[in-house]
Homo-oligomer: A and B are copies of this chain.
Amino acid sequence: MNEGALENLRLELRRGSVILAVLGELRSERYGYVLRRALAERGLEIDENTLYPLLRRLEDQGLLTSVWREEEKRRKRFYRLSPDGAATLQRLTDEWRRLNASLEKILDGSTHRSARVSGE
């Protein structure tokens, strides 16, 4: 398998998590740079070119609100979760927990040792 295809699968796996992480982190108001740093500190590195379009999309969908405000002499756009966003976050978090419970059962390695034979 070429690295491009693996990278695509990895991105597909990450995409949903990134949305959930952004919504979760924006229960507190943050501007882009601080949001990105907060996510990275929790182990989720997100490219600016992924994060900023995602913020605009989530705002267009009514899940986030934003305000421009001056801080340290620079105008910054602060985002936070809307009430709709909070309800959506709750539903997606529930879904995520259900998915994880299913995956844990499926991936539980004890009955499927063959997966590691030809692994890295």
Chain A residues in the interface with B (C-beta under 8 A): 1, 5-6, 9-10, 12-17, 19-21, 24-25, 27-28, 39, 42-44, 61-63, 81, 83-93, 95-96, 98-103, 105-107, 112, 114-120
Contacts and interface: CB of A to CB of B under 8 A. Distances in A.
User: What does DSSP make chain A's interface, helix, strand, loop or mixed?
Assistant: helix
Given A14-B95, A90-B119, 15 more contacts: A1-B85, A9-B92, A10-B91, A13-B19, A13-B96, A20-B103, A21-B106, A24-B103, A24-B106, A39-B102, A44-B102, A44-B106, A86-B114, A87-B120, A90-B116
A64 to B, nearest CB: 11
Contact of A91 (B6, B24, B87): B6
A86 B12 contact: no
A86 B24 contact: no
Contacts of A98: 43
